Amino acid sequence: AQSVTQPDIHITVSEGASLELRCNYSYGATPYLFWYVQSPGQGLQLLLKYFSGDTLVQGIKGFEAEFKRSQSSFNLRKPSVHWSDAAEYFCAVGEEGAQKLVFGQGTRLTINP
């Protein structure tokens, strides 16, 4: 069965620092991978997605993610975080023909001024 692991429950970074959020998945074939962001009191918004092709994917709000098949990872990065990036981030995985995505447990990001 598919699974998604986000090893970090909570991460704190300083404003202006770089960010990397980890996501590992367990799946046999080529997965479809997503990152969602949930600002406080809001629903989830799609940041970026990977289907195939270039393993470095650009998303909204200056985020990017890199698919590494050898490591079964899809880590989210941002070179310089802003206070408005404080939110919860969810990684999700799908597969061909699936009826639903599988979500990780989420990583809460706190930004120090």
Q: Based on the number of CB atoms within 10 Å of its own CB, is 49 exposed (0-12), middle (13-18) or buried (19 or more)?
A: middle
Contact 66, 57 (CB under 8 A): yes
Nearer to other proteins, 43 or 113 (CB): 43
What are the tokens at 87?
């939110």
Task: Give me the 4-33 binding string for other proteins, x by CB under 8 A, dash otherwise.
Answer: -----x----------------------x-
Nearer to other proteins, 29 or 70 (CB): 29
SS3 content of the chain, % helix, strand, coil (to 5): 10, 50, 40
Binding part of the chain for other proteins, among 11-19, 45-53, 64-72, 77-85 by CB under 8 A, reads 45-53
User: Where do contacts with other proteins occur on this chain (CB under 8 A)?
Assistant: 9, 32, 34, 36, 41-46, 49, 51, 90, 94-96, 98-101, 103-106
